Chains A and B, each alone.
Chain A
Amino acid sequence: DSGVTQTPKHLITATGQRVTLRCSPRSGDLSVYWYQQSLDQGLQFLIQYYNGEERAKGNILERFSAQQFPDLHSELNLSSLELGDSALYFCASSFSLLGGGPGELFFGEGSRLTVL
């Protein structure tokens, strides 16, 4: 158990819909990262927050947005969903801006999104 909690574990929705994925980081971790993992692709970095502020952006679509709240939990919002958005979405956390040790990320179990 990494200490990172993601909900929901599974989500099935239709094209055009909007969903919100939630992540609670490890106790004490200030950085939250979101990654997308599709069947034919590796882990793709989406976005990073540190103590409530956006710190880095990766290949995140404009239809996607995220935020980190004062209690450090984070939400990833996916809108106008397309079939190609079906993937595993992972949240990871680390203590510092530059990573836990540095760089060590602790991943949640992921949220599996299926868009029909």
Chain B
Amino acid sequence: EDQVTQSPEALRLQEGESSSLNCSYTVSGLRGLFWYRQDPGKGPEFLFTLYSAGEEKEKERLKATLTKKESFLHITAPKPEDSATYLCAVQSDAGKSTFGDGTTLTVKP
């Protein structure tokens, strides 16, 4: 069974304090790994897709990386508006998507 584990569950940072979120996964044939951002009471918003180990994607203060067993979402010099829950999901070759429980990031000014 495909599994996605995200850590930490919650992360509190000061504005400007860089850090990383982890997503460990097991999947029967990885078709893609996805990062989403979810604000309270809203639907998840797509951020990145990573397809193969060694791949990196960047968007503003966020950078996602992928290895064969995990992915990291690096947040550089975060701002309060980066506060949200970040979800990781994997899609198997069979097309099934499995989501992790997310990391809730709080950035204090």
Interface residues of A (CB under 8 A from B): 2, 4, 33, 35, 41-43, 45, 55-56, 88, 90, 92, 97-99, 101-110, 112
CA separation between A107 and B85, bound complex, in Å? 15
Given contacts A42-B101, A42-B102, contact A104 B46 (CB under 8 A): yes
Q: B97 to chain A: which residues have CB within 8 Å?
A: 33, 45, 99, 103, 105
Interface residues of B (CB under 8 A from A): 31-32, 34, 36, 41-46, 49, 87, 89, 91, 95-102
Q: Is the CB of B31 within 8 A of A103?
A: yes
CA separation between A110 and B33, bound complex, in Å? 23
What residue of chain B has the Cβ atom nearest to residue A88's Cβ?
B41
Q: B98 to chain A: which residues have CB within 8 Å?
A: 45
A-B contacts, 21 of them at CB < 8 A, read A4-B43, A41-B101, A90-B44, A92-B44, A97-B95, A98-B31, A99-B32, A99-B91, A99-B95, A99-B97, A101-B49, A102-B49, A103-B31, A103-B32, A103-B34, A103-B49, A103-B89, A103-B91, A103-B97, A105-B89, A107-B44
CA separation between A98 and B36, bound complex, in Å? 17
Q: A110 to chain B: which residues have CB within 8 Å?
A: 41-43
- Distance of A24 from chain B, by nearest CB (Å): 14
Q: Is the CB of A43 within 8 A of B44?
A: yes
Q: Is the interface of B mostly helix, strand, loop or mixed?
A: strand
Q: A92 to chain B: which residues have CB within 8 Å?
A: 43-44
Q: B96 to chain A: which residues have CB within 8 Å?
A: 45, 56
**In the complex, which of the residues B43, B89, B101, B102 contacts A90, with contact meaning CB atoms closer than 8 Å?**
B43
